[in-house]
Amino acid sequence: EDQVTQSPEALRLQEGESSSLNCSYTVSGLRGLFWYRQDPGKGPEFLFTLYSAGEEKEKERLKATLTKKESFLHITAPKPEDSATYLCAVQADSNYQLIWGAGTKLIIKP
Amino acid sequence: DADVTQTPRNRITKTGKRIMLECSQTKGHDRMYWYRQDPGLGLRLIYYSFDVKDINKGEISDGYSVSRQAQAKFSLSLESAIPNQTALYFCATGETGGAGNQPQHFGDGTRLSIL
């Protein structure tokens, strides 16, 4: 069964304290892995797509990496405005529907 | 103006009522989706449409129906609402093309409470 698991469920960091969020997946052939950011009261906002193992994408303080089993979202020197829920979704070769993880709630304290 | 607009943003209603949630987009995308989000769970797909004449059931379509009135409009109906349909509902759009793995773009959601 295709499955996506995100960890941890919640993460509290001090401003400037770097860390990583994990997205583990099990799919029969990966078409794409997507990272989104969701702020309270808002819809998910697209961040990155990764297509194959070894690929990396960067945007400001965020860097996403991909292996055959998992993806990491690395946050370097985070600021309070990086506080949000980060969602991971996977698209399998077998269909066009996305399989979503439950998200990691990230809180950055000043 | 938002590229993907959902109305209403909030709705409280009673069990057994018929409810329609509406979504319109200015992104020019062919693909449109309806999801629900519940605390502690990932987004779950209710219905999706790849063009005006194409409607497909998602993972949790029971109790819901949809209508694709135009390329830019996709509405979700709950024919007879029940309390376990209380959730946050999102509409999303996506481009056609490539390997079918284009990102989806979301509206800001409708918070629906059924008493």
Q: How confident is the model at residue B1 (pLDDT cuts 50, 70, 90)?
A: low
CB pairs under 8 A between A and B: 53
Characterize A18-44 residue by residue with b for buried, 16 or more Cβ atoms within 10 angstroms of its Cβ, and e for exposed.
eeebebbbebeebbbbbbbbbeeeebb
Alpha-carbon span A49 to A31, nearest angstrom: 10
Question: Would the CB atoms of A43 and B107 count as touching at under 8 Å?
Answer: yes
pLDDT (average), residues B1-29:
94
Does residue A40 belong to the interface with chain B, where contact is any CB pair within 8 Å?
no
- The residues, ordered by sequence, that sit 6+ positions from B5 with a Cβ below 8 Å of its Cβ are B23, B24, B25, B107
Instruction: State the DSSP H helix or E strand holding residue A53, giving kind and residue range, or none if neither.
Output: none
Instruction: Write the residue in A31, A34, A43 that is nearest to B103 by C-beta.
Output: A34
Mean pLDDT of chain B: 93
Coil/strand/helix, residue A81:
helix
**Mean pLDDT value across chain A:** 95
| Contact flag B41-A102 (C-beta cutoff 8 Å) | yes
Is A26 in the B-facing interface, judged by CB distances under 8 Å? no
Residue with the two structure tokens 């409810």: B19
- pLDDT tens string B50-59: 999 999 999 9
Residue with tokens 């209380």: B86
| Residue that has been written with the tokens 């079918």 in this structure | B100
- Token readout for A18 is 């770097």
Residue B83, SS3 per DSSP: helix
- Summarize pLDDT for B64-110 with one digit per residue, the tens: 999 999 999 999 999 999 999 999 999 999 987 766 678 899 999 99
Are the Cβ atoms of A46 and B108 closer than 8 angstroms?
A: no
**Cβ separation B103–A46 shorter than 8 A:** yes
> Quick one: which of A34, A100, A54, A104 has its CA closest to A75?
A104
Closest Cα in chain B to A41: B108
- Reading the block at residue B106, the tokens are 């979301």
Q: What letter does residue B30 receive in the DSSP assignment?
A: S
Q: Above pLDDT 70, what percent of chain A?
A: 100
> C-alpha distances in angstroms, A79 versus A61, A105, A106, A110?
9, 14, 11, 7
User: Which of A13-22, A77-86, A94-103, B2-11 shows the lowest per-residue confidence on average (mean pLDDT)?
Assistant: A94-103
- pLDDT level of residue A29 (50, 70, 90 thresholds): confident
Write down the pLDDT at residue B100: 65
Residue contact A43–B106, C-beta within 8 A: yes
| Amino acid identity at B53 | K
